Structures are given as structure tokens and as C-alpha cells.
Amino acid sequence: MTWLVTEIAALLVGALVLGVVLGWLLSRLIGRLRRSPESAGGDLTDVRTERDTLRMEAEGLRTDIEALRSGNEDLSARHRDLSATIDTLTEERASLAGRVGELQVALDDERREIADQLANRAALGSNDSTDADADGLRTQLDACRAELATTRRVLAERTEQLSIARHEIAECAARDEELAAVTDELQELRDRQPPISPWVTDAAPDPAEITAALADLEARSQRHEELLARLAETGDAAAPARQVDVLQERIASLEQAVGERNEEIVRLSTALGAEAPKRDGDDLTRLPGVDDVVADGLAVRGITRFKHVARLAPRDLEDVLAGIDGAPDGLDADHIIRRANRLHRASRGL
């Protein structure tokens, strides 16, 4: 009997201990469940704060992209104008090239006629008739020289327009870099989007709002990239620059042809006893490094005033100086252009 009572007492004690342990575990579980909404509320507050921050940054980016879009619409219109200008310049270059060809043929005919007249004059001796013919030939040569000078002035103006177009294309490239920077910032903002806690999945606002805002920004960026793509009509952003280079090569070839025609005029003028080209206009020897030889060479090319020099680009002036025989080495084209600009402004009282 004693053994049975002892066993029953032991079982009761064990059951009591087990009940205490189970009660303690149950109370811990209930307390944890009660604390979960409080933790969920904290996570919800953090998510909302981060969401508000992201919205503010998204609004700032949206404003920047709108500004870029407005600016690039203006650039698109400017690029269309530049394309039309380049087409016009191309047509004018072709026309000038044809005109130079006509001048070459005319000069060849004049040279042959002058050679025949000189031969006849040498064979028959000098008389009033041959003198009148020589004067007529000199008049024709002067007319050809004037027409060539006009052609060179037109070439100088077109070269200046091409320089302006090249500057505009550089501005477009700078705006492309600015757009790339904004796109990188947008991608960084998307990467910073925080994960949603599992405790607040049901209580928190739909995170699709943040995703929708980011998607809207990405769509705007895509439209902006499409605008930039339309700027490059050939699909290559460097195509306008290459087109300008092609036009510049055509200008160089045309200048070379004009220079050859000018040399023929000088030789013919020398054969007829003509004087050196007149330097009517400004005194170009006031420019740094420009002596009488260089001034005569510039006058032959139709450059007789300070404003003519000021309108040239440094690279174009270097090409002109390189084509003048006897010109000093090491002339600073940029310095010459700046001095010509100052002298021109001073002559106008500015």
C-alpha cells in the first residue's frame, strides 16, 4: 500500500510540474503574440517614412526630367534647323564648286587668248590696237579676280556657319551627358527601395504606389531617350559631326582650287605687267606677325579688313596663312583673330 501511495504522489507532483511548465510556455507565447502588432506598427512607420522620402526624391527627379525634356525639345527644333542649314550649305558648296570649275575653264581660255595676243604682239610689234586688246584682257582678269574674291568671302561666311553648327552639336552632347547622370540617379533611387516586413504586409499601404512612381519616372526617361534618338536622324550621334567634317574637307578642296586659280591670275598679271594686288581696306600689318607679304597674300584672297579676319575660325586662318608663300612660321592665328576683333570694334567706336 505504501508503495502505491508513493507512486500516486509522485505522479501528482510530476503532473503539477508539467502543468507549471506548460503554463509558463503558454504565457510566453501569448505575450509574444500581443507584442507582434506593436512591432508591426513600428515597421509600418519606417516603411511609410521611407516611402515619403522616396516620393520626395521622385518628385525632384520628375521636375529635373521635365526640365530636361523641355530643353531637349528646344534642342530638337534647333537640330532640325541645323540639319536644314547643313543641307543648304552642301548645296551652296556644290554650286560654288561648279562656279570654280567654270572660272577655271574661263581662266584657261583667257590664258590661251593672252598667250596668243602676246605672241602676235611680239611678232607684229606694239600698236594701239594691241594695247587696247591688252587693256581689255587686263579688265577681264580684274573681273575674274573680283569674282574669285567674292567666292572666297562666301566661303569664309559658310565656314563661320559651320563652326556655329559644330558648337551647337557639342551642346547637344553635353545635354546627353546630363541625361545620363539623371538616369543613373534614378536607377540608384530604385535600388534603395526598402523591403516590406512580413508583419505589415496586410496593414501597410500597397507598395505598388512606390513602384508605380518609379515606373512613371522610368517611362519619362524612356521618352526622353527617344527624343535624343530622334536628334540623330541616321541613328548615329556622331553623324552630324562627321557631316560637318565632310563639308570642311570640301571647303579645303575648294580653297585649294581657288588658290590654284589665284596663282594663275598672279602669273598672268605678271606677264601683262600688272601691279601687285591692291590692299584697299584696313592696314592688316597692324596685326601681330602680319607683314607686307602676308597682307598681300590675304588681299589676294579677298581678306582686306579687320572684320574679315575676325570672322574666321583659328583653324581656317591657319590654313589660309599656310597657303601664303613667304609667310613667317609660328604665327598665332588665335591671337591675330582677337587683335583683329579689337581693332574692328575700335574702328566702329565700340
Tens digits of residue pLDDT in 73-84: 777 777 677 777
Confidence (pTM): 0.27
DSSP 194: P
Do 180 and 111 share a structural domain? yes
Q: Is residue 179 part of a domain?
A: yes
**Best-predicted range by mean pLDDT among 129-143, 273-287, 325-339?**
325-339
Q: If you compute the radius of gyration of the chain from its CA atoms, what whole number of angstroms results?
A: 42
Q: Please tell me the predicted confidence (pLDDT) of residue 135.
A: 66
Tell whether 225 and 305 lie within a shared domain.
Answer: no
Tell whether 218 and 321 lie within a shared domain: no
pLDDT tops 60 at residue 232: no
Q: Is residue 156 part of a domain?
A: yes
- Mean of pLDDT values over 124-143: 60
**Last residue of some domain: 229, 251, 275?**
275
Compare 163 and 278 and report the one with higher pLDDT.
163
Confidence band of 343 (pLDDT split at 50, 70, 90): very high
CATH code, domain with 329: 1.10.150
Structural element, H or E, at residue 166: helix 128-191
163 & 269 share domain = yes
In a domain, 130, yes or no: yes
Domain match, 234 and 293 both:
no
For residues 161 and 246, state if they share a domain: yes
300 and 181 in a single domain? The answer is no
Residue 40 within any structural domain of the chain = no
> Residue 198 has what pLDDT?
41
| Residue 154, domain member (yes or no) | yes
Q: Are residues 178 and 291 in the same domain?
A: no
Residue 132 above 50 pLDDT? yes
Interval 15-36: pLDDT, tens: 888 888 888 888 887 776 665 5
Q: For the chain, how many structural domains are there in total? A: 3
Do 178 and 261 reside in the same domain of the chain? yes
Range of the domain at 104: 45-275
Is 148 found in the same domain as 281? Answer: no
Question: Is residue 35 in a domain?
Answer: no
Whether 323 is covered by a domain: the verdict is yes
Query: Which DSSP string corresponds to 308-319?
Result: HHHTS-HHHHHH
Does 247 share its domain with 281?
Answer: no
**Residue 162 to residue 297: CA distance in whole angstroms:** 24
The closest alpha carbon to 196, from 24, 43, 329, belongs to 43
Asked if pLDDT for residue 199 goes beyond 50, the answer is: no
Q: What is the structure's pLDDT at 117?
A: 67
pLDDT value of position 251: 63
State the cell numbers at 41: 506598427
Q: Are 245 and 162 in contact (CB under 8 A)?
A: no
136 pLDDT higher than 90: no
Least confident of 51-55, 85-89, 111-115, 325-329: 111-115
Looking at 221, 240, 275, the residue that finishes a domain is: 275
What pLDDT sits at residue 149?
74
Please tell me whether residues 174 and 239 are part of one structural domain.
yes
Average pLDDT score over the chain: 71
Identify the pLDDT of residue 134: 58
Q: Which among 221, 253, 275 is the end of a domain?
A: 275
pLDDT score of 248 more than 70: no
Characterize 72-93 residue by residue with b for buried, 16 or more Cβ atoms within 10 angstroms of its Cβ, and e for exposed: beebeebbeebeebbeebeeeb
Whether residue 261 lies inside any domain: the answer is yes
Residue 7 has pLDDT above 70, yes or no: yes
- Exposure string over 290-315, b if 16+ CB within 10 A, otherwise e: beeebbbbbbbbbbbbbbbbbbbbee
pLDDT tens readout for residues 299-328:
888 788 998 899 888 888 888 888 888 888
